[in-house]
């Protein structure tokens, strides 16, 4: 059961001012709600509940409707995501081939609790996804656009290390 605790003070005034200016520049903010949400996500990185509520109040649209839009389109995210998003497929085929152990191992290695979206350094986030259409490779893990097939729990640390290194090289 959810207990809503919304803390509007987490929203940065500067960011809100910029969002307000954007909304004011639109002839029909309600009709352009997707664009407004894109802007909000671009400014904040993701769309926490507080920001969704702010957009609802600012545009006069129902909060339920805003939340419906945000949860419908995959390009919106309610949680912050890391540089690398690790998607572990838990569809039927992958599940049968041990996806849960793989998922658990990722959480363990990255020290992420189930409701924690992202590692502290902002590098990794994890989610479990439904069948991604690569059942022949089950269990399947996707890191951003990169696919790893037949993943065993013991390969998890290697996958993480590979991306840590990639990130370090890039910076």
Give Cβ neighbours of residue 132 (< 8 Å, ≥ 6 apart): 87, 89, 91, 140, 142
> Could you tell me the smallest distance in angstroms from the CB atom of residue 100 to ligand FES?
12
Q: Which is nearer to ligand FES, 29 or 91 (CB)?
A: 91
Length of the chain: 171
Please give the residue ranges that form the binding site for ligand FES (CB under 6 A): 89, 91-94, 131-135, 138, 140
Among ligand FES, other proteins, none, the one that 67 touches (CB under a kind-dependent 5 to 8 A) is: other proteins
* Partner touching 25 among other proteins, ligand FES, none, CB below 5 to 8 Å by kind: none
Q: Is the CB of 123 or the CB of 135 nearer to ligand FES?
A: 135
- Burial class from Cβ neighbours inside 10 Å (0-12, 13-18, 19+) for residue 82 reads buried
- Looking at residue 136, what DSSP letter applies? G
Nearer to ligand FES, 43 or 93 (CB): 93
Interactions with other proteins, residue window 66-125 (CB under 8 A)? 66-68, 71-72, 74, 92
Query: Residue 4 Cβ, how far from other proteins at the closest point, in Å?
Result: 5
Q: How far apart are CA 30 and CA 7, in angstroms?
A: 24
Q: What angle do CA 129, 97, 151 make, to 5 degrees?
A: 75
Q: Which two tokens stand for residue 105?
A: 């191992």
Q: What residue number has its CB nearest to ligand FES?
A: 91
């Amino acid at each position: 059961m959810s207990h809503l605790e919304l803390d509007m003070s987490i929203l940065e005034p500067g960011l809100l001012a910029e969002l307000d200016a954007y909304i004011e520049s639109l002839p029909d903010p309600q009709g352009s709600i997707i664009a407004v949400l894109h802007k909000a996500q671009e400014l904040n990185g993701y769309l926490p509940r507080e920001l969704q509520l702010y957009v609802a109040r600012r545009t006069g649209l129902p909060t339920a409707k805003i939340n419906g839009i945000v949860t419908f389109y995959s390009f919106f995210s309610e949680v912050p995501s890391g540089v690398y998003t690790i998607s572990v497929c838990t569809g039927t085929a992958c599940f049968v081939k041990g996806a849960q152990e793989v998922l658990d191992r990722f959480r363990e290695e990255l020290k992420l609790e189930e409701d924690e979206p992202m590692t502290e350094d902002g590098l990794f986030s994890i989610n479990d996804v439904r069948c991604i259409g690569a059942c022949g490779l089950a269990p399947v893990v996707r890191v951003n656009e990169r696919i790893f097939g037949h993943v065993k729990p013991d390969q998890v640390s290697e996958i993480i290390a590979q991306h840590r290194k990639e990130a370090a090289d890039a910076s």
